[in-house]
Amino acid sequence: MSNTSVPTLAYFKTRGRAQPIRLMLAYAGVKYNDKYYDRPGAEDMEAFKVDWLKEKFTLGFDFPNLPYYIDGSKKLTHTKAIMRHLAKKHGLVATDETGLERQDMVEEQMSDIQMEFFMSVFTPNFETAKVKYIAETLPKQLDALSQFLGTRQWFTGNSITYIDFFAYELLDWFRLFSPETVNKYQNLVQFLTRFESLPAIKAYMKSPEFISWPLFGPTAPWGFKK
């Protein structure tokens, strides 16, 4: 790889599954090409991702998917695989047994929370599902995360790891979805503020490259249109 080449991270121009990776790259100071596949103005997913579908099986990936990350000869797909690669490369992994155990557990827990959010809320009966989720499910999920975090600065301890980037993005979704619920958990709010105050993250969030909205694609009942 030449000294002038930069990695490419490809996704849609939404936060979605790529945003934790973008945050990691910003934190690590990595210059990269943020490639977008969506078509502006698309109202359905077929139109939204048509350009990706044209290229999907032509790029040499083992498991073609978005997001993907290309750095020289390295070609990776899937959010957490890319995050783990960057974490190892930039020192964003836990370094002791307790930290590694916490890192693995909270990653699985947040993956489950994310999936339950999509399956429970993104339904044809969105408005009813949203009320039920905020009343019954979200508090239980945040209770567990708040207790797990405790008085620690980061989810594995006092050093930031890749899992905090995943946690930030998920918790910020919930803060946008139901701010009154998230605001009940002072340590989670402090975590969000602490993350946003990191100099590299703060600078990135003020830059034109930062995507604050939309979160998801055009078929999502929430997170696309304001």
CATH number, domain at 155?
1.20.1050.10
Question: Residue 149: CB partners within 8 Å, gap ≥ 6?
Answer: 155, 187, 188, 191
Do residues 109 and 141 share a domain?
A: yes
**Domain final position from 45, 62, 91:** 91
Binned at pLDDT 50, 70 and 90, residue 194 comes out as: very high
Range of the domain at 49: 8-91
Number of domains in the chain: 2
The overall average pLDDT reported for the chain is: 95
Task: Tell me the Ramachandran region of residue 150: left when phi exceeds 0, alpha when psi lies from -120 to 50, beta otherwise.
Answer: left
CATH number, domain at 26?
1.20.1050.130
**Domain final position from 60, 91, 122:** 91
Q: Which two tokens stand for residue 15?
A: 């936060």
153-182 pLDDT, tens per residue?
999 999 999 999 999 999 999 999 999 999
Do residues 108 and 24 share a domain?
A: no
Do residues 180 and 101 share a domain?
A: yes
Domain-embedded: residue 219? no
Do residues 101 and 191 share a domain?
A: yes
**pLDDT score of 4:** 53
Do residues 106 and 175 share a domain?
A: yes
Domain-embedded: residue 42? yes
9-36 pLDDT, tens per residue?
999 999 999 999 999 999 999 999 999 9
Tell me the percentage of the chain whose pLDDT exceeds 90: 91
Say if pTM beats, i.e. exceeds, 0.85: yes
**CB burial readout 54-88, b (16+ within 10 A) else e:** eeeeeeeeeebebbbbbbeeeebbbbbebbbbbbe
Domain-embedded: residue 210? no
Do residues 117 and 79 share a domain?
A: no
Average pLDDT over residues 136-158: 97
Q: Give the torsion through C-alpha atoms of 8, 14, 15, 16, to 10 deg.
A: -100
Domain-embedded: residue 133? yes
Do residues 16 and 58 share a domain?
A: yes
Binned at pLDDT 50, 70 and 90, residue 5 comes out as: confident
Do residues 66 and 104 share a domain?
A: no
Domain-embedded: residue 1? no
Tell me the percentage of the chain whose pLDDT exceeds 70: 98
Do residues 103 and 186 share a domain?
A: yes
77-128 pLDDT, tens per residue?
999 999 999 999 999 999 999 999 999 999 999 999 999 999 999 999 999 9
Do residues 31 and 54 share a domain?
A: yes
- How far apart CA 214 and CA 211 sit, in angstroms, is 7
Do residues 155 and 178 share a domain?
A: yes
